Amino acid sequence: MSLDQRSAARLAVVQALYQMEVAGKGLNEIFAEFESHWIGREIEGVQYKPAELTFFRDVLQGVLTDQVAIDRQIDRVLSGGWPLARVEAVMRASLRAGTYELRARKDVPARAVIKEYVDVAGAFFGPTESGMVNAVLDKIAREERAGEMGG
Cα gap 140→132, rounded to integer Å: 12
Are the CB atoms for 107 and 150 separated by under 8 Å? no
- Give tens-digit pLDDT for 21-69: 888 888 888 888 777 765 555 555 555 555 678 898 999 999 999 999 9
pTM: 0.88
Number of domains in the chain: 1
User: 2-6, 9-13, 146-150: which range is least confident on average?
Assistant: 2-6
Q: pLDDT at position 2, please?
A: 60
3-state secondary structure of 128: helix
Task: Please state, in angstroms and rounded to a whole number, the distance separating the CA atoms of residues 144 and 99.
Answer: 9
- Tell me, what CATH number does 117's domain have? 1.10.940.10
Give residue-wise pLDDT tens across range 103-149.
999 999 999 999 999 999 998 898 988 999 999 999 999 999 999 99
Position 126: which residue type?
A: G
- If we measure between CA atoms, which residue out of 68, 53, 122 comes closest to residue 100? 68
**Domain span at 92:** 3-149
**81: three-class secondary structure by DSSP:** helix
